[in-house]
Amino acid sequence: MSRSAQPHTGLNGIHAAVARPRRGAVARAGSKRVVSKADAAPAGSTQRIVDAITTAIVERRLMPGTKLVEQQIADLFKVSRTLVRQALNQLSRDRLVVLEPARGAFVAQPSVDEARQVFEVRRMVEQQMVRQLCATVTPEQVAALRAHLAREGDAVARIDVAGRTRLLADFHVVLARMLGNEVLAQLLADLLARCSLIALMYQSAHSAGHSAEEHVAIVDAIERRDARAAARLMDAHIGNVERNLQLHPRVADLAAALNPA
């Protein structure tokens, strides 16, 4: 579908994110900006807009290619278009939004090459992350991970699509935060948001239940302080998600598309 044909109704996803307070480790840790009286409003600041759009992407409520209309967002958050523009510029630097001259802002549409590169970085970073965590993890941290896994399992059982998607992404950032490394946590949050767009673009067949089961196996290895097993399981987990994406170029089949049966 060309970008001009993309629906422009994706702001419902942002509206839902505003209505529900942001939760989970994927939330950005940036401090609130000090804004002028003209910009001050209950809906908040530039960072609040960034967080709401990022949440809507992570929870797969904003589709790739959706147009982000500045005035609509400004009206929704009750702020000036200047603040909206600042938020969109920040999201553009994070590769979640594409800014096109004379056309506006659109939710990014990752290419196949970008998708492969994102997963390659995740595999390198997260294998080392769990190795390091195996050496430092505490019983309290294991208990916190088990509680997170329980929430994942509950969301999967209830078919809470937005909740389980957020929790499954949060799991990886929680691991980073347990190392006390906010730079790593933010890096993973950004990568996971981009992975959400990739999954929307290329239709992952990797089920949420399967991901939750793989998370349990990773935590089991961390609790045993088995660094080799934890790294192997994390590599397999990320590899499984990537392999279940349809990253091969799609060739339109006219007969299949027009078959009235």
* CA pair distance 228, 233, nearest whole angstrom: 9
Q: Which residue has the higher pLDDT, 127 or 102?
A: 127
DSSP per-residue string spanning 1-23: --GGGS-S-THHHHHHHHHS---
| 3-class DSSP assignment, residue 106 | strand
**Does the pLDDT at position 24 exceed 60?**
no
User: Token match 């998607």: residue?
Assistant: 165
Query: Which domains are present in the chain?
Result: 3-107 (1.10.10.10), 112-243 (1.20.120.530)
Q: Do residues 130 and 222 lie in contact, with contact meaning Cβ atoms separated by under 8 Å? A: yes
**Does the pLDDT at position 259 exceed 70?**
no
What does the pLDDT read at residue 212?
94
What does the pLDDT read at residue 11?
61
- Of the pLDDT bands very low, low, confident and very high (cuts 50, 70, 90), residue 248 is low
* CA pair distance 190, 54, nearest whole angstrom: 9
Q: Please give the average per-residue pLDDT across 21-27, as a whole number.
A: 42
Q: Kindly report which listed range (95-109, 119-133, 247-261) carries the lowest average pLDDT score.
A: 247-261
Q: Do residues 203 and 246 lie in contact, with contact meaning Cβ atoms separated by under 8 Å? A: yes
**Does the pLDDT at position 40 exceed 50?**
no
Q: Kindly report, residue by residue over 108-117, the tens digit of the pLDDT.
A: 999 999 999 9
What does the pLDDT read at residue 178?
97
What does the pLDDT read at residue 208?
86
Q: Please give the average per-residue pLDDT across 253-261, as a whole number.
A: 51
- Of the pLDDT bands very low, low, confident and very high (cuts 50, 70, 90), residue 70 is very high
What does the pLDDT read at residue 14?
63
Taking the model in full, what pTM does it have? Answer: 0.72
What does the pLDDT read at residue 10?
59
Mean model confidence pLDDT for the chain: 82
Q: Please give the average per-residue pLDDT across 202-218, as a whole number.
A: 88
> Which of 25-29, 40-44, 107-111, 131-135 is modeled with the greatest confidence?
131-135
Q: Please give the average per-residue pLDDT across 47-66, as a whole number.
A: 88
**Does the pLDDT at position 251 exceed 50?**
no
